[in-house]
Amino acid sequence: MSTIDQLNDNVSYMDDFQPLNSDEINTIKKAQDIMRALDSIACTACHYCTPGCPQQIPIPEIFEAMNRKLLFHDDEAALKRYHQKTNGKSKAKDCIACGQCKFAFRSILPS
Ligand code: SF4
């Protein structure tokens, strides 16, 4: 939002606010439980981790390929995806374990 009109427009959607009922809350809780039980890397591909990588590794794309392996147990599809996503780019094996990606989010936090 960058104008008062945009702010008013966004806030107007709360005019008829109705809180979730217990059935809706339970449905969300069930969905959360299912998602937590999945054996996968919780990456939303925000790319906050990538700007500081000295090796320019496409970290979220590699996680996406790994999630195919973890979720669907399809090693061939996961490997194909990995090669598609890293074609012409750095590979996971190029990681030097500098740790920069683990702390990259700090650069986007207000000081
Ligand atoms: S540890 Fe360093 S080299 Fe490896 S992915 Fe993270 S930022 Fe890149």
Protein residue with its CA nearest to atom 3 in ligand 1 = 95
pLDDT of residue 33: 94
Amino acid at 21: N
Q: Give residue-wise pLDDT tens across range 41-68.
A: 989 999 989 988 999 999 999 999 999 9
How many residues would you count in the chain? Answer: 111
pLDDT of residue 88: 95
DSSP 15: T
Protein residue with its CA nearest to atom 8 in ligand 1 = 53
Low-confidence winner among 9-13, 58-62, 102-106 (lowest mean pLDDT): 102-106
- Residue 106 pLDDT grade (very low, low, confident, very high; cuts 50, 70, 90): low
CA 45 to centroid of ligand 1, rounded, Å: 16
| pLDDT over 90 (residue 102) | no
Alpha-carbon distance of 37 to 52, in angstroms, equals: 31
Distances (CA, A) of 111 to 1, 8, 88, 108: 22, 29, 36, 9
Distances (CA, A) of 95 to 9, 66, 68: 46, 16, 21
CA 93 to centroid of ligand 1, rounded, Å: 10
Protein residue with its CA nearest to atom 4 in ligand 1 = 95
Q: What's the gap between Cα 47 and its chain centre?
A: 8
* Predicted TM-score (pTM) of this structure: 0.69
